């Protein structure tokens, strides 16, 4: 518990202190957000708002994670380092995307192929890594099984698991990216998801098969350290939200959204809750589904289901205030997270 509190506290402080000078630097070099011409017209006022605020989230989270290990005098675990690798690696891909947008003064950065290649390179490194490094109990950071509340079904071949992990990584990182369209929306939703993983990591530690071979015990390799990772990112996101709340003084950009999406799926794979992520990140799923439905409907019938996709822009065009949309979507995400935690707890209860 000390490590979790230390990680969140250090990350919160570091990210919060870093934000003001980062905003000034980004303003000075005119690293501002480019707004799409086909987006809601109300967003034109956000043109030039500093972006790449994800730098502060990532830096604060990494310092918080390793700082917590310094406080507790414990070494980082393989599971924690691999999730941090995925987090930072996808953040670097997002940084390149943001930088190109700013440098070329356009709303599109990396070409889709180059962006996908970056996600694949980082994702393959993570996916292969989690199948290695067994501890003395032969537990690896991840497993080649599918998982919902724990592993189930037969194991996959490593190459098939790598493909499955890549699908999760690309889908989740892009889902958070799509959600990052209104001030504070993606940040608040991510905070709620990270709270779930702090709880899950703690829970799995207390019911670990290493401590007692109970019928419902967990074979997760490093549950406490995964909770520390989630807590570190939680602190960084809370600090960022202070400056990202409407009207935002800074945006996280693809630097933050791709990194946070990667972090969530990394935690899902290493805590053996891959499919539960669909509930923990329920808002991200809804928003991504709205884009798929919109594109599919338009290509098949020539008609649009929503006034604009992603979903949050549909409600903007219906006249909802931005703050109203953000708060209501946070409530929806909170309900998803509560449902996920309830499912996790009810499955564990002895029958």
List the binding residues for Mg(2+): 177, 254
Annotated binding residues: 177, 254
- The set of residues, in sequence order, having a beta carbon less than 8 Å from that of 72 and lying 6+ positions away, is 2, 3, 6
């Amino acid at each position: 518990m000390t490590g979790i509190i230390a990680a969140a506290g250090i990350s919160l402080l570091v990210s919060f202190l870093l934000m003001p000078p980062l905003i000034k630097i980004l303003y000075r070099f005119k690293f501002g957000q480019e707004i799409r011409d086909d987006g809601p017209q109300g967003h034109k006022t956000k043109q030039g708002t500093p972006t790449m605020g994800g730098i502060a989230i990532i830096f604060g989270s990494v310092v918080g994670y390793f700082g917590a290990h310094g406080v507790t005098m414990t070494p980082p675990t393989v599971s924690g380092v691999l999730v941090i690798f995925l987090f930072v690696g996808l953040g670097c891909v997002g940084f390149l995307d943001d930088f190109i947008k700013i440098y070329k003064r356009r709303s599109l950065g990396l070409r889709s192929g180059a962006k996908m290649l970056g996600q694949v390179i980082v994702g393959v490194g993570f996916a292969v890594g989690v199948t290695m490094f067994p501890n003395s109990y032969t537990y690896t950071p991840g497993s080649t099984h599918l998982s919902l509340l724990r592993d189930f079904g037969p194991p996959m071949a490593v190459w098939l698991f790598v493909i499955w992990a890549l699908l999760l990584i690309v889908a989740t990182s892009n889902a958070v990216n799509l959600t990052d369209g209104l001030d504070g929306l993606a940040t608040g939703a991510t905070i709620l998801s990270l709270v779930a993983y702090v709880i899950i990591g703690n829970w799995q530690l207390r019911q670990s098969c290493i401590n007692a071979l109970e019928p419902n015990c967990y074979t997760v390799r490093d549950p406490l350290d995964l909770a520390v990772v989630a807590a570190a990112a939680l602190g960084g996101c809370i600090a960022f939200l202070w400056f990202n709340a409407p009207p935002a003084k800074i945006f996280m950009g693809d630097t933050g959204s791709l990194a946070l999406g990667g972090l969530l799926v990394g935690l899902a794979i290493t805590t053996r809750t891959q499919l539960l992520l669909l509930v923990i990140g329920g808002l991200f799923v809804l928003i991504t589904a709205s884009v798929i439905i919109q594109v599919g409907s338009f290509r098949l019938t020539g008609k649009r289901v929503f006034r604009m996709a992603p979903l949050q822009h549909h409600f903007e065009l219906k006249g909802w205030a931005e703050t109203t949309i953000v708060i209501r979507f946070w409530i929806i995400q909170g309900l998803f997270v509560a449902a996920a935690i309830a499912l996790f707890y009810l499955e564990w209860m002895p029958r």
